[in-house]
């Protein structure tokens, strides 16, 4: 009986240690380290002016929250890129996210958030950039990994503080996507119609090991007809009445025919919920059609998995960004030089 009591007490003690130690670590986690003085561009007043307050529209609550730019960036980098990625890839993401935010910020002449004109930016990734608050980060990473990952991302933001991406010393529109799927990046005009000199196709070594390569999605003929809006038939040759009419320079689908209906590649992607316009298809049993996609996202600008692969190969964040955004520079905002 005494042995059973001892074992029960020991089990309770171990359980308490497992639960309380991580909680204590999280509770006493001090936040990001202070910015090292050797990377502070200019005087204290200048640093303060480079960390403006943003009016952030919280899409989940419908409220506008005033937030320090660096705190906002920590939530964006965490929401947009896996925390396990290399530090230089996270730094590249931090600079891209900062540039994206400041380009929309009204104090920099931006137009604010399309979703809410009273805000500078919002947390809806379909409108602006993804964002995760502290409670969401704890839930995503767990109490054991939260302190390590939170510090890692905060350091990526701090190490790049005050740096943005420019073209001819003007803020660029630094669009980015999860993975090009090994296809290389895409020209912006293939997706949104108008050419931009720094958003042109570049080679990308994102690798074939990431989870966005050869993803299969299966549809019935009835589902395809309903979602694409065309009458689709099986051909006597054993094929199906689907055809790529035109491909982009990057090899993605630009124009597509589904029976008697012609669609753009991005329209097909949206209607079918595919990861990308880098798709092909094959017939399966019982008249099913399997679409195979390579990559995730629109394919324009920085490939996040490719950025991580470059970081693994020794590239720093500046080289990564200047690779994906052709002819750009990483520098302080116009009118703010590191010399003060």
CB 318 within 8 A of CB 330: yes
Query: Do 152 and 211 belong together in one domain?
Result: no
Query: Do 219 and 308 belong together in one domain?
Result: no
CB 95 within 8 A of CB 330: yes
pLDDT digits (tens, 9 = 90+) for 114-144: 888 889 999 999 899 999 999 999 999 999 9
C-alpha–C-alpha distance, residues 81 and 66, integer Å: 23
pLDDT digits (tens, 9 = 90+) for 85-103: 999 999 999 999 999 999 9
Contacts of 247 (CB under 8 A, 6+ apart): 253, 254
Q: Structural domain of residue 185, as residue ranges?
A: 175-299
Query: Do 69 and 211 belong together in one domain?
Result: no
C-alpha separations of 157 from 109, 193, 195, 211, 309 in Å: 23, 33, 30, 26, 20
> Shortest CA distance to 318 belongs to which of 331, 303, 305, 300?
331
Query: What is the pLDDT averaged over residues 134-161?
Result: 96
Q: What is the pTM of this model?
A: 0.81
Q: How many domains does the chain divide into?
A: 2
Residue 339 is assigned to a structural domain of this protein: no
Query: Backbone dihedral region of 80: left (phi > 0), alpha (psi from -120 to 50 degrees) or beta?
Result: alpha
Residue 5 is assigned to a structural domain of this protein: no
Cα dihedral 160, 166, 172, 178 sign = negative
Query: Do 288 and 212 belong together in one domain?
Result: yes
Residue 53 is assigned to a structural domain of this protein: yes
Quick check: 303 pLDDT over 80? yes
Helix 317-324 to helix 87-104 angle, to the nearest 10 degrees? Answer: 60
Burial class for 246, CB neighbours closer than 10 Å (0-12, 13-18, 19+): exposed
Among 1-10, 133-142, 236-245, name the most confident range: 133-142
Query: Do 119 and 217 belong together in one domain?
Result: no
Residue 15 is assigned to a structural domain of this protein: no
Residue 336 is assigned to a structural domain of this protein: no
From first CA to last CA, the distance across the chain in angstroms is 75
> How far from chain centre, in Å, is Cα 71?
17
Query: Do 259 and 198 belong together in one domain?
Result: yes
């Amino acid at each position: 009986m005494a042995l059973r009591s001892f074992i029960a007490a020991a089990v309770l003690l171990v359980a308490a240690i497992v639960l309380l130690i991580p909680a204590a670590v999280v509770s006493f986690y001090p936040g990001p380290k202070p910015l090292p003085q050797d990377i502070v561009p200019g005087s204290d007043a200048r640093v303060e002016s480079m960390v403006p307050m943003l009016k952030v529209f919280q899409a989940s609550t419908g409220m506008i929250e005033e937030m320090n730019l660096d705190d906002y960036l920590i939530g964006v980098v965490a929401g947009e890129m896996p925390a396990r990625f290399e530090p230089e890839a996270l730094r590249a993401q931090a600079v891209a996210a900062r540039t994206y935010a400041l380009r929309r910020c009204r104090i920099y002449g931006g137009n604010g958030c399309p979703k809410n004109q009273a805000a500078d930016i919002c947390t809806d990734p379909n409108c602006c950039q993804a964002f995760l608050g502290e409670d969401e980060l704890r839930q995503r990473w767990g109490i054991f990994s939260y302190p390590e990952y939170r510090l890692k991302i905060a350091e990526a933001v701090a190490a790049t503080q005050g740096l943005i991406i420019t073209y001819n010393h003007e803020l660029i529109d630094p669009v980015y996507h999860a993975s090009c799927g090994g296809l290389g990046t895409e020209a912006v005009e293939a997706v949104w119609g108008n050419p931009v000199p720094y958003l042109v196709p570049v080679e990308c070594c994102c690798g074939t090991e990431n989870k966005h390569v050869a993803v299969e999605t299966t549809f019935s003929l009835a589902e395809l007809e309903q979602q694409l809006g065309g009458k689709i038939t099986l051909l006597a040759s054993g094929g199906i009445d689907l055809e790529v009419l035109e491909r982009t320079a990057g090899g993605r689908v630009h124009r597509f025919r589904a029976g008697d209906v012609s669609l753009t590649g991005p329209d097909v992607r949206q209607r079918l919920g595919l990861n990308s316009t880098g798709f092909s298809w094959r017939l399966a049993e019982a008249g099913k059609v399997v679409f195979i996609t390579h990559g995730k996202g629109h394919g324009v600008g920085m490939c996040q998995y490719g950025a991580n692969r470059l970081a693994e190969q020794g590239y720093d964040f500046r080289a990564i960004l200047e690779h994906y955004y052709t002819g750009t520079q990483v520098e302080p905002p116009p009118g703010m030089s590191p010399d003060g």
